Amino acid sequence: MIELHHVSKSYNKGKVKAVDELTLTVKPGEIFGFLGPNGAGKTTTIKMIVGLLKPDSGTIAVNGLDTQQNSLKCKSITTYVPDYPAVYERLTGLEYLNFIGDVYGVPKTERLSRIEKWLEVFELSQAVANPIQSYSHGMKQKIVLTAALLPAPRVMVLDEPMVGLDPRAAHHMKELMREHCDQGKTLFFSTHIMEVAEKLCDRIGIINKGKLIACGTMDELKKTDKSEQSLEHIFLELTEK
């Protein structure tokens, strides 16, 4: 569960208001898609949820724990994938996954069976023995996503996870995200791909200029649109205003 309560964040001493009084809740078992134009405040929101940025005001709780007051506990139950594949390039894929497994305390036996399954799904079984610096962008993204799944975290926060994935890998990733949430876990992700949001998310939030301008299930969002059109149409209508 993720709860944001009147969260605001500015950059440059208040000159740029990136997130403005944002309030929303993502329930356990839910996939929440966070949409918005470039510069709307998605990454800033995500960085505050995972504890990389401190809100100027408002509160954020992960599974009922305040992220400011219980920062380590919150981090131990959350995994995060940033909007670029941030990895230790000199480690091999397997060394990196084991490092993440150690950080999150994933038992060795569970670790191996999980890693093997996902490496096969992402067609990385051969490459995993090589240093990450030799990987393509898509391969790095797949390793980072595998690492985020590895601890079976209560909460996963992903910033544009589908970027760089080929259609097959994106398809598998969507299945893994659904599987994860079917176990009662919470998943929050940003995307620019309307089709992914429409098909995968239980609920969708649209942010524009730091403010949440729409939030609900696809059916609820459609009801706000006179012609009940696609998510793309709703997005374009709402963000134009």
**Interaction of residue 38 with ligand ATP, rule CB under 6 A:** yes
For residue 113, with 0-12 CB atoms within 10 Å meaning exposed, 13-18 middle and 19 or more buried, which class applies?
Answer: exposed
- Specify the residue, 51 or 151, whose C-beta has the smaller distance to ligand ATP: 51
Figure out which of the listed residues 2, 26, 41, 187 binds ligand ATP, where binding follows CB under 6 A: 41
* CA separation for the pair 61, 9 (Å, rounded): 16
**Residue 40 binds ligand ATP (CB under 6 A):** yes
Report the residue from 9, 43, 92, 165 that binds Mg ion according to the rule CB under 5 A: 43
At 55, list the tokens: 């809100």
Partner in contact with 153, chosen from ligand ATP, Mg ion, none, beta carbon below 5 to 8 Å by kind:
none
Q: Confirm or reject binding of residue 86 to ligand ATP (CB under 6 A).
A: no
The Cα 45–Cα 29 span in angstroms is 20
12 makes contact with ligand ATP (CB under 6 A): yes
Going by C-alpha positions, the residue among 169, 218, 175, 209 that lies closest to residue 32 is 218
- Told to check if 221 binds ligand ATP by CB under 6 A, we report no
CB 79 within 8 A of CB 146: no
Q: Which two structure tokens, joined as six digits, stand for 112?
A: 């191996």
Residue 186 interacting with ligand ATP (CB under 6 A):
no
Q: Could you tell which of Mg ion, ligand ATP, none binds residue 12, using a CB distance below 5 to 8 A set by kind?
A: ligand ATP
Rg, Å, the chain Cα set: 18
- 18 near ligand ATP, rule: CB under 6 A: yes
Asked whether position 208 contacts Mg ion by CB under 5 A, the answer is no
- Total Cβ atoms within 10 A of residue 96: 22
Q: Which residues in this chain contact Mg ion in the complex, by CB under 5 A?
A: 42-43
Q: Which residues in this chain contact ligand ATP in the complex, by CB under 6 A?
A: 11-12, 16, 18, 36, 38-44
